[in-house]
Amino acid sequence: MWKYILKRFGLAIVTVFIIITITFFTMNAIPGGPFEKEKAPDPAVKALLEARFHLDKPVPVQFWYYLTDMFRGDFGISLKTGRNIMQTINESFAISAKLGGIAALAALAAGLVLGSIAAIMRNGVFDRVIIFFTTLFVSVPSFVLATLLLLVFCLKLAWFPVWSAESHSYFLPILALALYPMSYITRLTKSSMLDVLGQDYIRTARSKGLAETKVIFKHALRNALIPVITYMGPLVAYILTGSLVVETVFTIGGLGSKFVTGITNRDYPMVMATTIFLSVLMVVATLISDLIYKLVDPKISFD
Amino acid sequence: MKDTLLNVKDLQTAFFTDSGVVRAVNGVSFNLEKGKVLGIVGESGSGKSVTAYSILRILVDPGKVVGGEVFFKGEDVLKYSKREIRSLRGEKISIIFQDPMTSLNPVYTVGNQLMETIMLHTDRNRSEARQRAIEMLTLVGVNDPEKRVKQYPHELSGGMRQRVMIAMALACEPDILIADEPTTALDVTIQAQILELMQELQKKLGMAIIIITHDLGVIADMCDEIIVMYAGRICERGTSDEIFYNPKHEYTKGLLRSIPKLGMGHIRLKPIGGSPVDLLNMPKGCAFASRCDRAMKICLTNQPDEIAIGPEHMAACWMNVKAVYDEAADSGNKQGGDDK
Ligand SMILES: Nc1ncnc2c1ncn2[C@@H]1O[C@H](COP(=O)(O)OP(=O)(O)OP(=O)(O)O)[C@@H](O)[C@H]1O
Ligand code: SF4
Ligand SMILES: [Mg+2]
């Protein structure tokens, strides 16, 4: 098992390195630069600035500088604000992690519970209500949902304050971020639960004289979880990309909105750093979900 | 009758599906005495499994017992509360299923699943239950039981898994073991081993067994009584010998023609022609009429009752009534009358 984890860990590092390389060279291939606005700076100033950020060197050399700095935890400074990027990421990640973490956990917990209930009480009123809402939320894009929530509950009804320095109300952003994956997980859990409940080993469990709760929560749920766990990777990916939109709509200064403003500002170091950070998160999440998958399903062996 | 364990009376079970009511069991009655082996035989879809599931009330959704009674030691199981029925299952009546490959939960170890039953129905604690599990695995001939309890079902062969199922079913020393085609999914040599094991355990532990199969030949020498089912009804019942050497229902005769017998040489086997009856639209008369070579007019309009052939032999076939009439007619002929 440890051998497997080590192997996966090595692969993860390689993956991250490839992502960094691709991102770096793609960013360099994009025409235009931070100092080419309508009001272009004086050529002398521009040359100075470029020298300051090593932009006068050939690209591979720049890459080398970048990598070595990165290993020292230095992602450079923002071309826009001049602030240390590592510090910015640290601050904004705290906000994003709270938002994304709660959204992911809420989506998982609610999805599993609602999906199981829907499966057990299939064709009942509750099941129908769940089917209606999950279908709705699965088909509404997150930027529409986020905008609607903001419009109705913050601006029209004023039940929740708009995000500002004084008031950090996470409720609506979490809702906007969690409703889609929650609905998806609910549907996934329901169909996998229905499938499992029809299996022979469930009949065996009942024929032993086990109580129905034990049949469902011990024998059915763990099997029904397997497809849900495979969705964990995509879930994290969704939360990461979804937060770009949701944080921007709700004007939350999280990592996602830093990434988006970084792009609009052509703030390359900022975009680089956030991309790397997000992909590392993604790789780690995939690794963890793979390990959980193997723990739940004994048929998958550690090789 | 004093040792009757199980008494099933006019059991009727139906599935209420979208396309109509599927009448899977239509008035099955039988008695099972202590320590006896009852065989239930019939082709696929004749309602054998549904009968067994009805007794334990483990039918799934559209299925419902719509009539009859099931007495276990004099108490009607169909009237039991959920709690009462749960203490019957696995403790007093156990069941093993057709397909050992899918009947064990893939995500729990063999030991876990065995111990679960043991701890549910007895006072044993974890380590005692584990001890018992190992003991049971040894009893059913699983090699290296200490290692097996830690293994997952997918690490075991089909025959091994069926042994585990048997161990699980017998762990709480039930009064009745229902074996629903315990060997159908296994290859022939393993089949014989499993049946031998069941016979051996029956002698050792003394429980009663209901063994369900579609292969009459397989169970012939282990049953005290055999019931032949067709379309959810019992067509014939009797001792093994009576059923084998003196079958009185056309369907039973057909079944016997379709099984290979040892020492029969190369006689061609004759499977029964035609397809099983449509349970959504049961015919008015004998359910087997559309496939019966000897069907008569009355077979199409009237359902035959069970008629006693001997003290322990009954058959529900009009041929037996006809035989009585023919006999009477024969003796009448001698007096000159011509009867049709
Ligand atoms: N879930 C169900 N829904 C509808 N009909 C069903 C269902 N389960 C069983 N039946 C009906 O009940 C009939 C009897 O099924 P049963 O499983 O008892 O047959 P069997 O005698 O055990 O056959 P086999 O040898 O194939 O196991 C089947 O023909 C089928 O039409
Ligand atoms: S009752 Fe008639 S149709 Fe049915 S088995 Fe007997 S002879 Fe055939
Ligand atoms: Mg069956």
pLDDT digits (tens, 9 = 90+) for B288-313: 988 888 888 888 988 888 888 888 89
**pLDDT at residue B119, as a whole number:** 94
**pLDDT at residue B125, as a whole number:** 92
**pLDDT at residue B265, as a whole number:** 53
Euclidean distance between CA atoms A54 and A219, whole angstroms: 61
Burial of B136 (0-12, 13-18, 19+ CB in 10 A): buried
Q: Residue A297 pLDDT more than 70? A: yes
Give the closest residue to A271 by CA, choosing from A33, A54, A39, A37.
A33
Q: Residue A164 pLDDT more than 60? A: yes
Question: Which of A211, A297, A299 has its CB closest to that of B86?
Answer: A211
Residue range B43-66: mean pLDDT, rounded = 92
Q: Where are the alpha helices (DSSP H) in A159-199?
A: 171-197
Domain boundaries defined on chain A: 91-243
Which CATH code is given to the segment(s) A91-243? 1.10.3720.10
Residue B67 three-state SS: strand
Q: Is A210 on the interface with B (CB under 8 A)?
A: yes
Beta bridge partners of B6: B32, B72
Structure-token pair, residue B83: 């709690």
Q: Among the listed ranges A50-59, A135-144, A205-214, which one has the minimum average pLDDT value?
A: A50-59
Q: How far is CA A181 from the centre of its chain?
A: 11
What ipTM was assigned to the predicted interfaces of this complex? 0.87
Give the closest residue to A102 by CA, choosing from A165, A175, A188, A159.
A175
Residue B268 is given by DSSP the state P
Structure-token pair, residue B222: 């282990």
**pLDDT at residue A210, as a whole number:** 94
CB neighbours of residue B134 within 10 Å:
19
CB neighbours of residue B128 within 10 Å:
14
Q: Model confidence over A81-99: pLDDT tens digits?
A: 778 888 888 888 888 888 8
Q: Among the listed ranges B48-52, B56-60, B217-221, which one has the minimum average pLDDT value?
A: B217-221
Q: Model confidence over B100-110: pLDDT tens digits?
A: 889 999 999 99
Q: Where are the alpha helices (DSSP H) in chain B?
A: 48-56, 82-88, 100-103, 110-121, 126-139, 145-148, 158-170, 188-205, 216-219, 240-245, 250-257, 297-301, 318-334
A186, amino acid identity: T
- The pLDDT confidence band at residue B337, using thresholds 50, 70 and 90, is very low
Beta bridge partners of B216: none
Q: Among the listed ranges A156-160, A293-297, B297-301, which one has the minimum average pLDDT value?
A: A156-160
Residue B47 Cβ < 6 Å to ligand 1? yes
- Residues in A touching B117 (Cβ below 8 Å): 208-209
- The pLDDT confidence band at residue B267, using thresholds 50, 70 and 90, is low
CA distances from A229 to A5, A112, A188 (A): 18, 11, 10
The continuous run of DSSP H or E covering A25 comes out as helix A2-29
Residue range A229-235: mean pLDDT, rounded = 87
Q: Is B58 on the interface with A (CB under 8 A)?
A: yes
- The pLDDT confidence band at residue B238, using thresholds 50, 70 and 90, is very high
Share of residues in chain B with pLDDT > 70 (%): 94
Structure-token pair, residue A106: 């809420």
Residue A50 three-state SS: helix
Sign of CA dihedral B239, B240, B246, B251: positive
Ligand whose nearest atom lies closest to the CA of B286? 2
Q: Residue B340 pLDDT more than 60? A: no
Euclidean distance between CA atoms A118 and A131, whole angstroms: 8
**pLDDT at residue A248, as a whole number:** 83
Euclidean distance between CA atoms B87 and B11, whole angstroms: 22
Q: Model confidence over B115-137: pLDDT tens digits?
A: 999 999 999 999 999 999 999 99
Q: Is B60 on the interface with A (CB under 8 A)?
A: yes
**pLDDT at residue B339, as a whole number:** 46
Q: Residue B39 pLDDT more than 90? A: yes
- The pLDDT confidence band at residue B264, using thresholds 50, 70 and 90, is low
Give the closest residue to B174 by CA, choosing from B73, B47, B99, B75.
B73
- Residues in A touching B121 (Cβ below 8 Å): 209
